[in-house]
Structures are given as C-alpha cells and as structure tokens.
Amino acid sequence: MSDIFNNPTAEKRVLASLLIDDMVLDQMINNIELIDFNTDRHRYMFDIIRRFYRKYYKHLERNILDTWLTKNDATNKTDILLLYGELHSLGSDKYARFYVDELKECTAKRKLYDVYKEIGSGLENDANPHEIATSIAQQILTASTSSIVERTSVFADPDERIRQYIDREEHPEKYKGVQYGIKEIDELTGGMFTGQLYLCIGRTGAGKSRMLFNIGCNVAKTGKKVMYCTIEMDAAILQNMWESREAKIPLTDIMRTQLTGYNRRKYMAFLQYQKKVQHPLYLVDIPQGCTTGIIESEVLAFEKLHGQMPDLVLIDYANLIRPMSKYKDRAEMYDHVFRELKEGARAHKTVYYTAAQMNRESLKATNKGTEHIAFSDAASYHCDSIFRIFADEKDEVNHEAHYEVVKGRYHQGSCVDLYWKRDINWIGSWSGLVKPVTGSKDESQNVSGSAATTAADVSDSGRSSDNTDNLDY
C-alpha cells in the first residue's frame, strides 16, 4: 500500500475525523497542517480528501471514490483514500466510537489495511453493512481496548489505597478540586473534579452564561488553564465582559463607547495593565455548526499548543450543540450531547462545565430540574453535578441570585445565595458583606466595591480617587 503520509499520526487523525463528523474534518485538517505539516505534498493530499468529502458526503456509494480518483487524480490514487470512503459509507453508528478510539492508537498501517480488505470483501459479496460493522467493531474491541477500558477489582492493591489515604490526610491541597473561587459553592462541593461533567440550568436571562464566565475568570486567575468555548456570544463581547468585571465598569458603557471622565480613564488604565498581566483564559469562538466532535478536536489542539489539557473546559451552551451520534428527536439529541461531553471529560481527565436553557413548562413546575430541558430528563444521568440559577425581580434590585443543587453525585444538596452585580457582570460571594434589607439602589451600591474585592481578591484601590495614576488592579 502506498505511503501517502510521512506521519502516521496524521493518518489516524484524518481517518478519525471522517468517522466523527463532516464539520470536524476541516477543523482537524487545519490542526494537522498547523502542527505537523508545511509541505505542498501534504496540503495537496488533504485537499483531495476535503474536495471528495464535500461532494459526496450525502450519497457515498461503493465505487464513487474509486471512479472519482481515477478521473481526477490517477497518479495519486491510493488504497488509504479508498479506505476512508468505504469506512464512512457504513455510517456513523454506535460502533464508530470503537473505530475512533482504536484507530487513533493504531501504529501499523497494516492493521488499517486489514480492515479495508474485510470491508471491501464484504461489500463485493453483498454482505449486510451492519454485520460488517459489527464484525470489525468486535475485532477491534477484542484486539485491544487498553486505551478506553480499565479492568480491576474492588480488592486490588489495598496497600496503595492506604498509602494514598495517608497522603491525602497529610497533603490535602494535592487532592483539592478546581476551586470555583466562590466561597459558599467551594465549601458545599469541594470544587470541580477531573473526569466530571457539570451543568448549570436556568430560564432565559437567569445568568447561566454569566455564571460560567465568572467561574472561568476565577479559575484562570489562580493560574489554571481555562478553555472557554463560546457558541452563543462573540469572543469580542467576552473580552469586554472581562474588562467590565475586572475594572468594575458597566459593560453597556464599554460596548456602546459611552465611557466619560473617570470611567474612561479607568478603562484605558486597565487596558494598559492587561499588557503586563495575562491570565490563562483562552476563548474558542464557534459561530456555527458546533458539534461535540468540534469541541473534542479543540481540546486536542489545546493540548498540542499548550503542552497540557485545559484544567477546565467551559461550553456556552449545550442547547446549541449537535452530537456525533445520529438522533431521532430533540430528547435523544440531548441524551447524546451530554453523554458525549461526559465521555470527553473522562477520556481527557479534565473538567467539563456547560449550561442549558429550561423550557416554559418549568414556570409551572413545583420542582424544577433537567426534565424541563426539551421535556427530557436525559441530561441528569450523564452529569455529576447540576445546578439551577434563578432570581426574581426583588433579587435583581438586591443584587442577589440563587444557585440551587438539582443533583450532587458527590456532595449534598443545598441552595447558595450569591452576590450578582449585573451591570459589571460580577457573580461572587456574599462573604464579608451585609445584604441590603430595603433593596434600594443607593444602599446596594454601597457594598459593590467590597463585594468585588471579597469575591475574587481584586484590589479596588483608586475607587474613591479621580487620579488615574492611582488605579491599581
């Protein structure tokens, strides 16, 4: 078989991309070109794959790829390209996950070639494609599942568990979860832990995106790497939200270019400060066609670019994502979305945190939960912790919001009261503050500086002075 790629890893990635999702193909090829290749030969071969895939994705047939290559690129016709087309013609069914996981780890092209021969032989003899898929999946699964399955026993290595328990007693800081940076939530949950999927639900305007954003800001300011996948809002708006939050300047004034006097000088001083101090909060703007496969490829690209997996992956938000798996209705779609996000968190040993919007039926319900996402409770059994954020008109006046535990697999249930200064996008702790009793605007503003300082330990010096040189962030 012709050696079309000099780098076997690239071959695996492109093959996996074709099995995952058509939207992922371009993303994965771009990652490969950026990281591994800069030759005309590789770019040319990727262009062949891309052009064929776009033209025939909807109606792949047995001999289309062979005919197309013969006509358009006779000198570079290869078995590996034929393999791509025939594998994909089987469809992305429940066995695709086996293909992807194992073929990513496969180091010998001979193994891929054996798969190709079996598929070709089966199709030539009019075998049932589903039976071929099942057979190959079983071969791959039994040959090697070390990359996705761990086999052990509840009695395995008690000495190691004793050692680890003692180490946890002596060095608890080593085993802490990723901290929210909000005292009440951290005390309740212990933080966020790798391999787990977290979900924030709420009605429109309840503060889901603002909550994710504040969690990301707090985590990034501790030095941990945060990858923020924004599907709903433009990345430029998130940059303005960061500036508003940290400089304590109303977001709308920044976005509408309405800053004057002291606030304008304060804003310019903050931007100068940002040149010197940068926190690891990375934005991934996905304006259309987002799938769990695209998020997967972005997480892998992050590891390649930064040398490690992100400590926290924020996804805003789940209602706008399509799964890799096929689905019949919206309820099944959400089932697959949350399952695949959970698999991503476990496979990459990191934290995934997303949000979802509740439907109108939640307004009538006494107990509000994940069953009010597309009339399905499918999200609940994939998520490790689920919270509902809500606030009424009185809460808005009093700068308050509530974060209620809907599900806590590893922590108790409760409802936490949060400080929410809406104009500057700040959600934080009430610790050290006095809650307003009258709800008057003037009274609530008296604690805004204190709240900002308490919630994220951001100095607010210079607040009472009109001297820009004294600003200290």
pLDDT over 90 for what percent of the chain?
37
Please list the residues that pair with 134 across neighbouring strands: none
Does an H or E element contain 213, and which? helix 208-220
pLDDT at 141 over 70: no
Is the separation of the CB atoms in 229 and 295 below 8 Å? yes
| C-alpha to C-alpha distance for 218 and 178, rounded to whole angstroms | 10
**One-letter amino acid for residue 74 of the chain:** A
pLDDT tens per residue, range 288-320: 888 888 888 889 888 888 989 999 999 998 989
Q: Among 130-134, 210-214, 232-236, which is the least confidently predicted range? A: 130-134
- Mean pLDDT across the stretch 139-155? 59
Residue 96: both structure tokens together: 């695709």
Q: What is the pLDDT of residues 396-441, one digit of tens each?
A: 889 999 999 999 998 988 999 999 999 999 999 988 666 665 443 3
| Cα dihedral: 454, 459, 461, 463 (round 10) | -60
Round to whole Å and give the CA distance between 239 and 281. 10
The Cα 82–Cα 64 span in angstroms is 9
For the chain, the domains span: 8-143, 177-470
List, for residues 166-193, the tens digit of each pLDDT value.
999 999 888 889 999 999 999 999 999 9
Residue 386 bridge partners (DSSP)? 199, 407
pLDDT tens digits for range 53-92 = 565 554 444 355 455 555 555 554 454 454 455 444 444 4
Please give the Cα distance from 432 to 89 (Å, whole number).
62
What letter would DSSP give residue 378?
T
Q: Distance (Å, rounded) from C-alpha 356 to C-alpha 388?
A: 10
DSSP 435-459: --SS--HHHHHTTHHHHHHHHH---
**In whole angstroms, how far apart are CA 401 and each of 53, 63, 145, 389, 419?**
48, 60, 46, 7, 6
- Residue 215's pLDDT is what? 98
Quick check: bond before 317 cis, omega within 30? Answer: yes
CB proximity list for 299: less than 8 A, separation 6 or greater: 227, 309, 310, 313, 344, 348, 350
Query: In this predicted model, what pLDDT tens digit does every residue of 351-362 receive, in sequence order?
Result: 999 999 887 776
Q: What would the pLDDT profile of 200-209 be if each residue is shown by its tens digit?
A: 999 888 999 9
CA dihedral 427→428→429→435, nearest 10 degrees, is -40
pLDDT of 46 over the 50 cut? yes
- The model scores a pTM over 0.85: no
Pick the CATH number of 177-470 from 3.40.228.10, 3.30.230.10, 3.10.20.30, 3.40.50.300: 3.40.50.300
| Local confidence band at 379 (pLDDT 50, 70, 90 cut-offs) | confident
Q: Which residues, including other chains, have CB under 8 Å from residue 118's CB and lie 6 or more apart? A: 132, 135, 136
Report the C-alpha gap between 48 and 405 in whole angstroms: 51
pLDDT of 150 above 90? no
